[in-house]
Structure 1
Amino acid sequence: MRLIVLLFILITSKLLAQSKYSLKGQVFSEGQPLPYANIYIENTTKGTVTDENGTFLISNLEAGKYSVVASFTGFIVQKRTVKISDGDVTINFNLSQSASLNEVIITGTLKPVSRLESPVPVEVYSPTFLKKNPTPNIFEALQNVNGVRPQLNCNVCNAGDIHINGLEGPYTLVMIDGMPIVSGLSTVYGLSGIPNSLIEQVEIVKGPASSLYGSEAVGGLINIITKLPENAPRFFADGFVSGWGEVNLDVGLKSRIGKKATVLFGANYFNYNNPIDNNNDNFTDVTLQDRISIFQKWDFKRANNRKFSIAGRYFYEDRWGGEMHWNPSYRGGNEVYGESIYTSRFEILGNYQLPITEKVNFQFSYSDHDQNSVYGDTPYLAQQRIGFGQLIWDKKTSKHDLLIGTSLRYNYYNDNTTATLNADEVTIPSLFIQDEIGFTKKQSLLLGMRYDYDSRHGNIFTPRIAYRFKPTEDDIIRLNAGTGFRVVNLFTEEHAALTGARDVIIEETLDPEESYNININYLKKLYLKNGMLFTFDTSAWYTYFTNAIIPDYDTNPNQIIYDNLDGYSTSTGLSFNIDAIFGSGISASIGGTYQDVSQTENGETKKQILTERFSGVWSFTYKHYPTHLTLDYTGNIYGPMRLPLLGELDPRQEYSPTWSIQNIQLTYDKFDDFEIYGGVKNLLNWTPNKGNPFIIARANDPFDENIQFDFEGNVIPTADNPYALTFDPSYVYGPNQGARLFLGLRYKLN
């Protein structure tokens, strides 16, 4: 009997050892099944591809421990460990988009093209990037882009602009869906109020792009691409609150209207109504804001897949900063100082492909910006209207990829300042052509030329050339050169000119700036045997400006002097980015920029004010699948920059210290439709008042009632004013908001 039992055990054990099992599951991305993803088991020949529903099956597996990998082009590789012992195993994957090099971009050449094939280097940032450090607007999110810095221009109202490679905000063109609808007066507003969940990607070009986009694209451009309605979730909501009392809410939905139309609706609401004065100067540390933005986009199905989409946005904001006891009853008066800005703005933009055999698109946009603001007792009432339309013919032959276009831009600007006695109204017609010549699969050359006629300045030509060499599938070298131009309206760009703290002096009739730029870019992909992927991206550039218009804060501390530079200015720099995907839920990136921005006049060279010599950004992400937790750590660092002092006796530091903003976040995503996230912003609790006796000069006397001047208009030192200062809030280089907790919730219904 014992022999029979022993024999039975041996036979059963042998059969069990020879049993075969199956591994099955499904692959998702953003809650949607992901078809044709690769599934394989490491160190074996076993693998498969998901079907149209994202499901997979690997059969004939013996008992044991396996490392299972899921991958798909443009997504972060994911690895899971499973143990098979006595039955089939089910495992699911949820892949996240990576900073892939294969995204389709439109910004560099005005036509859809793979990022790898573009002769113009374009950086692309996906919604995954925006989620790493949630912000109420794109303006703040760009703080983690290498070589890009959101610059605050006033301690009181927190007006700001975007610096690219050390160049001031007016050199940056901001677009939505390829339409140049934003200029200096409204850079911040163009980057606020679009729900982040409606953004497909953000494309950034560093360097002149005037040959395609005209004025304002001298330093670079930022193009916000919104989702096609058909690609958006049926409903979404994303809201968070912070320990400072900030509240941000994004909501949106899409709906089919009949058989031909799909509409996407989104709204953003942001409120901050909690005056805080941590540096004890009796001024608000952060501007109070009440903002709402409504966005709608229609997409129509047409014969032969021709495009037709139209979108609109309305934006309203009430913001104020100033003395802690200010309220609207003091608005515009000289009793209690406050800066109050009411902004009302709407935009319309569209793209229509003509019903003809050739591929010809008509693109159009219109924006209307109305600003009612006061800076103490100085009112600034401004209206800006920009209409834009262009026809683009996209024609391909065997070796030539032609783009021929004509555009018409209408600019209207008026304000109540003495510098604008009559409304500035101009219509600028333009012609442009570019030809991308494909010599071989490895080499291509892009030639472009733009002609603009501005009645104020005459004929303007802006050529460019771009060469792409791809010696291997993993290496790309790009060489770009071109020119740019910029027509200036001071009061749309310089907040300091509006505060009333300094007199504005315009020395002469200002001529357009011109620039000459050359940029070389090298990109390298490196695949390692253990599944890791590294992407190296480095650039070097040189830009030379003539007729540069740079505000002079130094000659007279009570004035801002504007004139064309009698000399030249230059911007030279080197940048690098490294992106790494390690597998096992770990990815990271790091970038750095070194730049030298200076102007030379009468043989004397000065470093540009409010421009850092070096900067860096980084991010680290770890996804722990068993707990459904994701850790995101992001940060930036900026080197010293020269600051606007008010004279030799000013006790504030002439140069800012090296400073860093760092953030950490945890996200929990166990539930199918919900994500819970939270963390700490500004971990180091850094603010610009550290190391300074004060930030705002004469905060105790904002209307300069107790200032004494000599016969030449210079401030006289007194017992009450030993440093000979006037009220001035322009000494600002970074956000004045300390460490704070935040907590948020996302919901999405696909």
Structure 2
Amino acid sequence: MKKLIISIFISLTGIIAQTRFQGRVVDAAGNPIPDVNVLVAGTSYGTSSDKNGIFKLDYPLKSGDEISFSCIGFEAKTVKYNPSINFLTVRLQPKEYSSEAVVVTGTRNLKKLKDTPVRTELISEKEIKKCGYVSLKEVLMEQTGLAVINNHGSGIQIQGLDPDYTLILIDGEPAIGRTAGTIELSRFDVANLKQIEIVKGPSSSLYGSEALAGVVNLITSFPEVPEKIALYAQTGTHNSYQLNGDLYKSFGKFKGSLFLNTRGTEGFDLTPGSISKTAPEYDNILINPKLEYSFDESNSLKINVRYFNENQNNLAEITENDRTVILKDEDRLRDVNISLNYSGKLSNSYSHQSRLYASNYFTESKLNYQIGGEQYEYSRFDQYYYKAEYSGNLLIDQTNLTTFGTGYVKESINADRIDKEADDINSHFVFLQHEWIPSRFVDIVGGLRYDYHSKYSSRISPKISAAIKPYDFLKFNVSVGSGFKAPTLQQLYLNFTNPQVGYSVYGATNFLYYFNKLLEEGQIDRILINPENINKLNAENSWSLNFAVEYEHSENFWASLNLFRNNVRDLIDATPIAIKKNGQGLYTYFNLNKIYTQGIESEIRITLYDYIKMSAGYQYLDAVDEEVLEKVKAGEYFRLTESGRLKKITESDYGGLFNRSKHSGNIRLAYDNETYGVFAALTGILKGKYGYYDRNGNGILDDKSEYAAGYAVWNFALNKSINDHLALQLRIENLLDRKLSGQNMNLSGRIIYAGISINY
């Protein structure tokens, strides 16, 4: 019995010895490395090193078991367990990062661009700087599948969906201040951007309202260097100028940066018969300080402030008492954003973020008589947006990652054309996403978001995406999801009567009040739609499918093809409800239309010679109002011919939605020789004919005279690095001097910019 007890004791001692394995992780210089992930291969068991680099594994290891060591900034390493070694020293080598791009917008987690399951398009800092872009408008105009259109400002159209349905983010936070649905792209400077990420297709499962068509995320730079100073100066046509400076400094646990930019122009005029300039004179300033404090390797606090102010000046003319009167048109825009972001790591498997964000967008417009200076008209728009959000990432194992979050949003608008009784909008949201990587060939991510809104019914927005990579050179992406756009405060509480013409537009919430008031005053001539049938506005919503294939043959050839379909329901539109005694309409907002957009996008990039590269992109787009199409098929639409007869509109006559080109594309030929510091690029933007004006008044696009002709615009960029600190730049937009006014596009002719940059 005594021998048996001794044998058992010896065996248990051996097992215990096997389960107690420890060691130390150091860098190439022998310094300890904290927070190294230590994992037993083939299991989910692991630990991490402490601040002294010490790790301990309590696991029944067997001789030859593999143990992996990984840490950000170092090359991963695998060692085999040897029972004869009681204390192991593991030395990790610094990781030499490749130029592989990393994106975050599609999944809210860092992913390599080539591996992300949510197809993302990226415009790098290198391209932005070498091409000498002035604002976001110029950048997006040269991208495949994106159309910049003029509709109450320059906005971005994705896959044929209007600018209203694209969410623009700055460092992951939403930009506000839509003018009739459009966020003006020229508001956004690009000189301090690290990259621009574009996700096409609905992204409401992560970002909520306004991400129905897609997301454009502007990610500002925050250099990982001890200090940096960059200066840039540019001058150009129309007395335009741009000056900016970017300062960066790290000191101890603090990192800080300050970006300053100012630009302006005297504007231009394409209509000599009018006193107003086509594009007004303006000057603006952007101030963007950022500060980060790192508590330790895993926990940090970031503060980001963005202040933008712009002043515009123009002239306008009106007719009073049969004479022309000149007015001074002065506009001011102010956009302020403040974000506070705490990022932390509670363990190797759980990280989290707490974010606070506040934004204010303010505009005012003054029309004063040029002679005498008395006020003719004044209007203002003042919008506030507040958001609090918490999100977390749970790494279940090496193949499963769960992301979740919750938050609260409050929004208010104070504007001359919005009822003062308009309540603030309050919304709560919860989102959940799970990523599963069953093999190195497949990456699947699915998620949904629940939004509770104080002004419309709740929404659930699901989405699932997958990347399948059977070979290193071949990748398939598929994405199916739902998006939505909430009714705006304008659509709910607008109170506007045109003083010259006399028509009135009221929001869906306050319409009955004003309708009954006009009825009592005897101002209603006839009723077109029973006001009692006006329902509460629903959110506009969509279902979308994107299927893409990418092929890459080394670095010399890359091609992609993307098929897409968007079905949008409950589009909100202003509809006449009654006719007033003055003969003008009385309008309010309804959920009416259902549309679809579908098409093909293709891109190709080829390296012709060592330094010469060519790229081209093409989009075919079919954009249709389904209700109009059904009525056309039923023979309910007509147009008046030149002979005065009514002609029934056929399906082949119907041209779809206005302001969309069926065929569009781009082409670029570039020379990029980093050895000699020379970059040159010639880029063509091609746009086919598009409908722009309902000339015959039947409300649809159906006649050749209602189309604007297609056009091509060519841009040229040249960048020459003199040395590591100095570079010269030349950019020529509209090289062939094409001029175009109206037709939802303004081309001012050739514009030349010349600049110089200094970096230390």
Same fold per TM (> 0.5)?
yes
Correspondence for 1:306: 299
The match for 1:604 among 599, 617, 631 is 631
Q: Cα gap change, 1:504/1:122 in structure 2, threshold over 3 Å: closer, same or farther?
A: farther
**Kindly, what percent of the aligned residue pairs are identical?**
20
Change (3 A) 1:656 1:193: closer
**Mapped pair 1:476 → 2:475:** yes
2:355 aligned to 354, 363, 370, which one? 363
Which of 748, 751, 757 aligns to 1:737? It is 748
Question: 1:487-531: CA deviations, max 9, x gaps?
Answer: 1227599x9x9997874545755321111111111111112xxxx
Distance in 2, matches of 1:407 and 1:275, equals 45
1:630 aligned partner, one-letter code:
F
- In the other structure, the counterpart of 2:219 is 225
| Pick aligned residue for 1:515 from 535, 542, 551 | 542
Give the AA of the match of 1:125: I
1:586 to 612, 623, 634: 612
Partner of 1:372: 364
What is the correspondence of 1:136-147 to structure 2 with a 5 Å cutoff?
136-147=134-145
Q: Structure 1 residues 275, 208: closer, same or farther in 2, change over 3 A?
A: closer
Q: CA separation in 2, counterparts of 1:665 and 1:313?
A: 29
Deviation sequence 1:42-88 (CA, Å, 0-9, x none): xxxxxxxxxxxxxxxxxxxxxxxxxxxxxxxxxxxxxxxxxxxxxxx
Tell me the alpha carbon deviations over residues 145-200 of structure 1, each in whole angstroms, 9 at most, x when there is no partner. Answer: 1111222225xxxx222211121111010111111243524997785565533211
Q: Which of the numbers 119, 122, 125 marks the counterpart of 1:121?
A: 119
1:351: how far off?
2.1
3-state SS of 1:130 partner: helix
CA contact (8 A) 2:684 2:714 kept: yes
Are 2:317 and 2:324, in contact at CA under 8 Å, matched by a contact in 1? Answer: no
Q: Higher relative CO (CA 8 A, sep ≥ 6), structure 1 or 2?
A: 1
Q: Give the C-alpha shift of residue 356 in structure 1.
A: 3.0
Cα pair 2:177 2:183 within 8 Å, conserved: no
Q: 1:189 to 1:289 in 2, by over 3 A?
A: farther
Q: CA RMSD in A?
A: 3.5
Answering whether residue 439 of structure 2 is matched by residue 440 of structure 1, we say: yes
- Going from structure 1 to structure 2, the CA distance change for 1:110 and 1:648 (only over 3 Å counts) comes to closer
Tell me if the contact between 1:544 and 1:571 (Cα under 8 Å) persists in the aligned partners: yes
Give the distance between the partners of 2:291 and 2:198, measured in 1 at CA: 25
Inter-CA distance 501–295: structure 2 relative to 1 (3 Å threshold)? farther
| Distance in 2 between residues matched to 1:748 and 1:254, nearest whole Å | 11
SS of alignment partner, residue 626 of structure 2: strand
**1:611-690 matches, cutoff 5 A:** 611-623=660-672, 628-645=677-694, 654-689=706-741
Matched with 2:285 is 292
Task: Note the C-alpha offset of 1:472.
Answer: 0.6
**1 CA distance for matches of 2:305 and 2:659?**
35
Query: 1:625–1:270: structure 2 CA closer, same or farther, 3 Å change rule?
Result: closer
Give the unaligned 5+ runs of structure 2: 1-96, 369-375, 509-533, 633-653
Amino acid at match of 1:577: E
Instruction: Supply the AA of the counterpart residue of 2:732.
Output: V
User: Is the 8 Å Cα contact of residues 322 and 337 (structure 1) preserved in structure 2?
Assistant: yes
Query: Can you list the C-alpha shifts for 1:81-132, whole angstroms capped at 9, x where unaligned?
Result: xxxxxxxxxxxxxxxx99x7x3111100011111122110000101222235
CA deviation string 1:540-587 (max 9, x = no partner): 11111111124679x999879664454521111110111223442212
Q: Which residue of 2 aligns with 1:268?
A: 261
The CA distance in 1 between the partners of 2:252 and 2:499, in whole Å, is 57
Give aligned pairs, total: 593
- Please give the secondary structure, in 2, of the residue aligned with 1:548: strand
Query: Contact (CA 8 Å) 1:316, 1:343: kept in 2 or not?
Result: yes
> Corresponding residue for 1:382?
381
The farther-off stretch of 197-206 and 297-306 is 297-306
Q: For the structure 1 residues 275 and 684, does the alpha-carbon distance in structure 2 shift closer, same or farther, using more than 3 Å as the test? A: closer
The runs of 5 or more residues in structure 1 that have no matched partner are 1-96, 690-694, 696-731
TM-aligned CA distance change 1:652 to 1:482, over 3 Å: closer
1:741 CA displacement:
2.2
- The code of the aligned residue for 2:230 comes to F
Contact 1:238 1:744 in 2 (8 A): yes
Q: Check conservation: 1:174, 1:187, Cα contact below 8 A.
A: no
With 351-360 and 501-510 compared, the bigger mean Cα shift is at 501-510
Q: 1:147-546 to 2 correspondence within 5 Å?
A: 147-154=145-152, 159-182=153-176, 184-185=178-179, 191-192=185-186, 195-231=189-225, 234-256=228-250, 258-273=251-266, 276-277=269-270, 279-323=272-316, 335-337=325-327, 339-354=329-344, 356-357=346-347, 358-374=350-366, 377-398=376-397, 399-417=399-417, 419-489=418-488, 491=490, 503=503, 505=505, 508=534, 509-527=536-554, 533-546=556-569
What's the secondary structure of 1:295's corresponding residue?
Answer: strand
AA at the equivalent of 1:573: G
Equivalent residues of 2:165, 2:210 under 8 A apart: yes
Q: Retained in 2: the 8 A contact 1:174–1:180?
A: yes
Separation in 2 of the partners of 1:604 and 1:487?
Answer: 28
Measured in 1, the distance between the counterparts of 2:356 and 2:605 equals 36
Bigger radius of gyration, 1 or 2? 2
* Distance in 1 separating the partners of 2:419 and 2:557: 53
Alpha carbons of structure 1 residues 513 and 274: separation in structure 2 relative to 1, 3 Å: closer
Residues 213, 183 of structure 1: CA spacing in aligned structure 2 closer, same or farther, 3 A cutoff? Answer: farther
Secondary structure of 1:601's counterpart equals helix
For residues 188 and 240 of structure 1, the distance between their equivalents in structure 2, rounded to whole angstroms, comes to 28
Q: Quick one: distance in 2 between partners of 1:322 and 1:165?
A: 36
CA separation in 2, counterparts of 1:414 and 1:513? 24
Amino acid at match of 1:163: Q
* Alpha-carbon distance change, 626 to 356 in structure 1, aligned in 2, over 3 angstroms: closer
Work out whether residues 401 and 436 of structure 1, in 8 Å CA contact, stay in contact via their aligned partners in 2.
yes
Q: Which stretch has the larger CA shift, 511-520 or 604-613?
A: 604-613
Determine the C-alpha separation between the residues in 1 that align with 2:657 and 2:367.
26
Contact 2:149–2:156 (Cα < 8 Å) also in 1: yes
Identify if the C-alpha distance between structure 1 residues 397 and 628 changes in structure 2 by more than 3 Å, giving closer, same or farther. Answer: closer
Q: Is the CA contact (8 Å cut-off) linking 1:164 and 1:220 kept in structure 2?
A: yes
TM-score (norm 2): 0.72
**Residues 131 and 731 in structure 2, CA contact (< 8 A), matched pair in contact too:** no
Structure 1 length-normalised TM: 0.73
- Given that 1:284 and 1:324 are in contact with CA atoms closer than 8 Å, whether structure 2 keeps it comes out as no
Tell me by how many angstroms 1:383 deviates: 0.9
The residue type equivalent to 1:404 in the other structure is F
Kindly provide the CA deviation profile for residues 275-302 of structure 1, in whole angstroms up to 9, marking residues without a partner as x: 5456543331322111111011112222
Q: Measure, in 1, the Cα distance between the counterparts of 2:724 and 2:658.
A: 50
**1:570 equivalent in alignment to 2:600:** no
The one-letter code of the counterpart of 2:748 is Q
Query: 1 CA distance for matches of 2:412 and 2:429?
Result: 17
Relative to 1, partners in 2 of residues 1:126 and 1:492: Cα closer, same or farther, differing over 3 Å?
A: farther
For 1:500 and 1:619, the matched residues in 2 are separated by: 49
CA pair 186-599 structure 1, distance change in 2 beyond 3 A: closer
State the 1:459 CA deviation.
Answer: 1.8
> Residues 622 and 539 (structure 1 numbering): CA distance in 2 closer, same or farther, change over 3 Å?
same
The Cα of 1:321 is off from its aligned counterpart by 3.6
| 1:28-177 matched pairs, under 5 angstroms | 102-154=100-152, 159-177=153-171
